[in-house]
Amino acid sequence: MPEGHTLRRLADDLTAAFAGSLVHVGSPQGRFAADAAVVDGTRLLGADSAGKHLFVELEHDHLIHVHLGLIGGFEVHTEVGAVPPPVGQVRLRIVRADAGAYADLRGATQCELIGPAARDEVMARLGPDPLRADADPDRAWRRIKASHRPIGDLLMDQAVLAGVGNVYRAEVLFRQRIHPLRPGRTLRVGQWRALWADLVELMHEGVRLNRIDTVRPEHTPEAMGRDARTDDHGGEVYAYRRTGQPCLVCGTPIRTEVLATRNSFWCPRCQPRFRSRAVSSSQPPAREPRT
Catalytic residues: 2-3, 52, 262
The amino acid at residue 168 is Y
Q: For DNA, which is the closer residue by CB, 109 or 283?
A: 109
* 81 touches DNA by CB under 7 A: no
Among 24, 33, 40, 67, binds DNA (CB under 7 A): 67
User: 27 by DSSP, 3-state: which?
Assistant: coil
* φ, ψ of residue 15 in degrees (nearest 5): -60, -45
Does position 77 bind DNA by CB under 7 A? no
Q: Smallest distance from the beta carbon of 77 to DNA, in angstroms? A: 15
Binding part of the chain for DNA, among 82-90, 176-184, 246-254, 272-280 by CB under 7 A, reads 82-90
User: Is residue 78 near DNA by the rule CB under 7 A?
Assistant: no
* Burial letters 32-69, b for 16+ CB under 10 A, else e: beebbeebbeebbbbbbbbbbbbbbbbeeebbbbbbbe
C-alpha–C-alpha distance, residues 106 and 279, integer Å: 53
| Per-residue interface string for the shown chain with DNA, residues 230-249, x marking contact by CB under 7 A | -xxxx------x--------
For DNA, what does the binding mask look like between residues 156 and 195, x meaning CB under 7 A? x-x------xxx----------------------------
Residues 6+ apart with CB under 8 A from 250: 267, 269, 270, 284, 285, 286, 287, 289
* 263 contacts DNA (rule: CB under 7 A): yes
Contacts of 17 (CB under 8 A, 6+ apart): 76, 78, 96, 101, 103
CA atoms within 13 A on the CB side of 288: 3
- Minimum distance from CB of 18 to DNA (Å)? 22
> Minimum Å distance from CB 52 to DNA?
4
128 binds DNA (CB under 7 A): no
What single DSSP character describes residue 43? B
**Stretch 85-114 residues interacting with DNA (CB under 7 A):** 87-89, 91, 106-109
Asked if 50 touches DNA (CB under 7 A), the answer is no
Provide, rounded to whole angstroms, the least separation between the CB of residue 19 and DNA. 25
HSE (side-chain half, CA atoms, 13 Å) at 193: 3
Chain contacts with DNA (rule: CB under 7 A): 1-3, 6, 29, 31, 51-52, 67-72, 87-89, 91, 106-109, 156, 158, 165-167, 211-212, 231-234, 241, 261-263
